[in-house]
Amino acid sequence: MCFEFSPNEVGFLDPGAYIQTPHLKMDFEGGRVSPKQPFKRQPINLAQLQGICSSFLADLVEVLDYLWHWIHSIRSDEDKHHPVFLLADLVLNHANTERSLSALEKLRSVFEVWWVIKHITPLLTCWTFGTVANFLYHFQDPAIPTEMSAKKQMHLIDGGLYLNSPYPSALRQARKIDLIISFDFGEDPFEALWKARDYAASNHLPFPELGSQPTRPKSFYVFEEEGKPTVIHIPLFNMDNCKDPEEIKRMTDEYKTFQVFRCEEKIDHLAYLAAKNVEMNKDKILQEIKKAAERCRAKC
């Protein structure tokens, strides 16, 4: 289920249920703002909105289960007293009193237990990642599935884990989009494009034919078909700014999707490549914009 954010409204693309963005933090019941809020809330601000939008952590149980198995899959016998592993055992086995006391006793020998209790425990017991009030709570409408209106809160996950480009919002029928300019930044330069095609097909939305996936990506692609939005697709690493497949692979390996780096030089380099892609294809982009405008005028 795709949830869309914009400065003016937020809501579900399907079935098309939206509220004004400042109301996102408010409790609703039966389609109306509840007169009694849990506490006085200020309208949501940009920083909070960014935090919600970028949260790929939503389901606490699934996250803890995944982390526990991942941690234990990489641990060695020498690691069994490492604080990270001890904390994982403590959290996953909190209902087992004997095992919890054992883990706490081991933690005492590696660092201050009270520091853990004070700083770590609240983060796990007061789970707020991606959690907001559900404005569809107890909303009665045949178009709203029961599972969407049954819970008072909803847990939002970063849509990039599913489709790392906002195609669902652009393809929303009410927008009547004529032209989509897609800048891809994934390890697979066409993954988002192919997923967008599949999303459109499963939701009966118009999308142009894509053909087969190129093995040597260029810096500019146009996919167009009568009666459907034109899609311009621009891969970040391509034969025009990297020159050969070996360089594309080297750049893709260096700038993997799941990494955290704060190197200003690397950030500037990525920005330079993205700008170069636009500069090389400026005339083609303007030509497609002009064609889209002419098609729009012809409809009027």
Task: Please compute the mean of the pLDDT values over residues 236-240 and round it to a whole number.
Answer: 93
Q: How confident is the model at residue 7 (pLDDT cuts 50, 70, 90)?
A: confident
Phi, psi of 70 (to 5 degrees): -65, -45
Cross-strand bridge partners of residue 133: 153
Which residue has better confidence, 127 or 245?
Answer: 245
Helices 264-280 & 282-299, crossing angle to 10 degrees?
60
Residue 124 has pLDDT above 80, yes or no: no
Q: Of 1-15, 65-79, 97-111, 186-200, give the range with the top mean pLDDT.
A: 186-200
Q: How confident is the model at residue 71 (pLDDT cuts 50, 70, 90)?
A: low
Give me the amino acid identity at 93: N
CA dihedral 252, 255, 256, 261 (to 10 degrees): 170
Contact by Cβ (8 Å): 206, 200? yes
Q: How confident is the model at residue 229 (pLDDT cuts 50, 70, 90)?
A: very high
Task: Please compute the mean of the pLDDT values over residues 192-217 and round it to a whole number.
Answer: 92
DSSP per-residue codes, 145-187: -HHHHS-SEEE---GGGT-SS-HHHHT-GGG---EEEEEE-SS
Cross-strand bridge partners of residue 11: 4, 18
By percentage, how much of the chain surpasses pLDDT 70? 67
Task: Please compute the mean of the pLDDT values over residues 17-29 and round it to a whole number.
Answer: 85
pLDDT score for 233:
96
Task: Please compute the mean of the pLDDT values over residues 231-236 and round it to a whole number.
Answer: 95
pLDDT score for 207:
96
Say if strands 131-133 and 153-155 run parallel, antiparallel, or are unpaired: antiparallel
Which two tokens mark 29?
Answer: 């019941």
pLDDT score for 109:
57
Residue 110 has pLDDT above 60, yes or no: no
pLDDT score for 116:
57
Query: Mean pLDDT over all residues of the chain?
Result: 79
Which residue has better confidence, 206 or 23?
Answer: 206
Q: Cα(18)–Cα(235) distance, rounded to whole angstroms?
A: 32
pLDDT score for 260:
57
Tens of pLDDT, residues 139-185 = 988 888 888 899 888 877 777 767 878 899 899 888 889 999 999 88
State the number of CA atoms in the 13 A half-sphere of 117 facing the CB.
9
pLDDT score for 284:
97
Which residue has better confidence, 266 or 100?
Answer: 266
Q: How confident is the model at residue 198 (pLDDT cuts 50, 70, 90)?
A: very high
Q: Cα(150)–Cα(172) distance, rounded to whole angstroms?
A: 25
Task: Please compute the mean of the pLDDT values over residues 245-262 and round it to a whole number.
Answer: 80
DSSP per-residue codes, 212-281: SPPSS--S-EEE--TTS-EEEEEESS-TTTS-SHHHHHHHHHHT-SS-----HHHHHHHHHHHHHHHHHT
